[in-house]
Amino acid sequence: MNDISEAEAANELMRLAKQIAHHDRLYHAEDAPEITDQEYDALVRRNIELENAFPHLVREDSPSRKVGHATAASPLSKVTHEVRMMSLDNAFAAGEVAEWVARVRRFLSLAEDEPVAFTAEDKIDGLSCSLRYENGRLVRAATRGDGQVGEDVTANVAHIADIPQQLQVKDPPEVFEVRGEVYMEKQAFTALNAAQQEAVGKLFANPRNAAAGSLRQKDASVTAKRPLRFWAHGWGAASDVPGATQHAVVETLRQWGFPVSPQFTRVDSMQGLLDHYAIIAEARPDLPYEIDGVVYKIDRLDFQQRLGSIGKAPRWALAHKFPAEQAETTLESIDIQVGRTGKLTPVGRLAPVLVGGVTVTNVTLHNRDEIDRLGVRPGDRVVVQRAGDVIPQLVDNLTRAAKRGPYQFPDHCPECGSEAVAEEGEVDVRCTGGLICPAQRTERLKHFVSRGALDIDGLGEKTIDQFFALGWLESPADIFRLKDRRKDILALEGWQERSVDNLLKSIEARREPDAARLLFGLGIRHVGAVTARDLMKHFHELPTLREVAEKARAGDEDAAAELTAIDGIGSAVVEALGDFFHEDHNKQVWDDILAQVSPPRYEVETKDSAVAGKTVVFTGKLETMSRDEAKAQAERLGAKASGSVSVNTDLVVAGPGAGSKLKKAAELGIVVIDEAAWATIVAEAG
């Protein structure tokens, strides 16, 4: 991530959140994807890589926090899952699998010689489904939906022969939810599309979409005519789990009458995982169903429980995806786009090329240095890939040696003509026009009203562009003055009284915005959604934050120390805040918006536990768990896990070898407990 600044990362994360949400809706809610699974995976992968490199920029609407898509538009009734249906993190190389195994071992504090067993199975490209059995009888079936709420497809799955209506066991559990995939085999998919074409009906893009469209029918008789299959790979809510390992429970599901993957196996090493991956990859073309990778899971269920989950995915499972595909094409031109932070981003326009079923016409070229590294110029033959660091990604220049001069990166902004320069130590070239640059002004306004910021319905990108062109919107505060332009808006083509009133109502509903969202919406460099929340958790009110930031900028060491003592706040954030409040036009924007809105005091809701709302520091060697697991426990109990002891620390958990942190805790009179006492707090909280 050396080739991207934090500001550009924030901008790209915003774009990725919108893109992925768009494709989630098409894929999960409408069964009408525009891109392949591999291209979607690559978008998600890029999002994860950026979040790992810049954890303080993680957005509230981040795709990593979501599973599937909400089912609001579905005609089917809704079902709330008792146990959330998760998705999986992805790996694309053996090294990433090794990193996952190493993370698991570190989290569990396992000795080097302590064995870890895994299960491995092919990842079928189907529709996730949860089947609830009570006393052995199927009572409800539901799709995954957004992971929390799915769609009721009980009547539909009654027509899938692979799904038993009654478990084949004498003494079934009181409650057991079987989870797996509804899918359609390749041959059945081909036959269905042939029949659809003959009947002039809807053609499906691939077997997964055919399965999803067939299962999510309001009329179950339509589902009955479709050749759907099912196999089980896990479970949700359960009054009793029939086994202590993943392998044992899946084998029990097989005995109860469920098909499971014929490639399902148990291995005792990471090399065993990779060997099985190679076996499945070789067999892939001959399998009767579509797969896109191999799923690995930690076998021991007690390990799974300790590992828990992070975001939308369990720590104890991983999807090892098959590699991306590549193709050759011609780079026809290079266009320059200006983002809200002023960064000039080069975009390559390609001669359309089909890469694994998707037509690719554009490719991001990152920055000036990346163009120099690849030596690309319009007219070059290039290799494009649909997965990896950037989607799509240009991976090679086949005509680098051709006699053409190098591409000249612009030294002036194409939007406003201002000088474009790279700051010392940075690779990004930025427009120096600031708020006089129309590209930056409109993009900042769009960011201000985006879902992660003030989330104002009805004020979309086209509307902002239109109002900006009319001179009605030049700064965030102008949004709240639109109430005085009701008649002017009504006079515009396409606007009716209802739409205007809905827009103004949405704006008025943000007169008392969440302070962290407002701070994030102002687009201060290095202040992402998570950083904004961390700042407001500490300062509670925006004027207090400004006062401390200005003091730090003026050289007040105590003010700077107060800022850097906040977890996740480093010198770059402190400098960015100081620079922001040092500029008169920024202070004017700040004062102007706070004259229009009144953010309430920022407070964080906490869970009911002995440490809820408190700051906990772990120090020394923990003997029964890793530091990561301990911090995860603290967060689940509503506490904040900090890395340093300060006057804001409420509790220190000290293990053997605790040093300076323990000494400082004693000096400050902070309560110190050992690991056993912490375990008691966790147990009492349930």
- Distance between CA atoms of residues 302 and 185, nearest Å: 35
* Pairing label, strands 358-364, 344-355: antiparallel
Closest to 62 in 3D by CA, of 452, 336, 409: 452
Instruction: Give the single-character DSSP code of 524.
Output: -
The one-character DSSP state at 244 is: S
Contacts by residues 530-538 (CB-CB < 8 Å, ≥ 24 positions apart): 530/55, 530/56, 530/57, 530/58, 530/568, 531/56, 531/57, 531/568, 531/569, 531/573, 534/56, 534/566, 534/567, 534/568, 534/569, 535/566, 535/569, 536/602, 537/602, 537/604, 537/640, 538/566, 538/648
Element (DSSP H or E) covering residue 332:
strand 326-338
With beta carbons less than 8 A apart as the criterion, state whether 448 and 519 touch: no
Contact status, residue 442 vs residue 425, Cβ threshold 8 Å = no
- Token output for 441: 């002004």
Helix (H) or strand (E) holding 293: strand 291-298
Q: Are 307 and 89 in contact (CB under 8 A)?
A: no
DSSP string of 355-386? ETTEEEEEEE--SHHHHHHHT--TT-EEEEES
Torsion, Cα of 609, 612, 614, 615 (10° steps): 90
Kindly report whether the peptide bond that precedes residue 392 is cis, defined as omega within 30 degrees of 0. Answer: yes
* Furthest-apart CA atoms within the chain: distance in Å: 82
- Joined tokens for residue 302: 């007690």
Q: What beta strand segments (E) does 84-228 contain?
A: 90-91, 118-124, 127-134, 137-143, 149-151, 175-183
Q: Is 518 helix (H, G, I), strand (E, B) or coil?
A: helix
Q: Residue 118 — left, alpha, or beta (φ > 0 → left; ψ -120 to 50 → alpha)? A: beta
Phi and psi based region of residue 434 (left: phi greater than 0; alpha: psi -120 to 50; beta: remaining): left
Structure tokens at 200: 């002039």
By the 10 Å C-beta count (0-12 exposed, 13-18 middle, 19+ buried), 498 is classed as exposed
- Determine the 3-state secondary structure of 520 from DSSP: helix
**b/e burial code for range 462-496 (CB count within 10 A of at least 16 → b):** ebbebbbeeebbebbbbbbebeebeeebeeeeebe
Check if 537 is active-site. no
Q: Percent helix, strand and coil across the chain, each rounded to 5?
A: 40, 20, 40
| Closest by Cα among 21, 59, 31 to 453 | 59
Measured CA distances, 512 to 435, 509, 518, 587, 597 (Å): 26, 7, 10, 20, 6
**Residues linked to residue 356 through DSSP beta bridges, in sequence order:** none
Regarding beta strands 640-642 and 137-143, do their DSSP bridges make them parallel or antiparallel, or are they unpaired? unpaired
Catalytic residue among 18, 66, 78, 123: 123
Instruction: Give catalytic residues, as residue numbers.
Output: 123
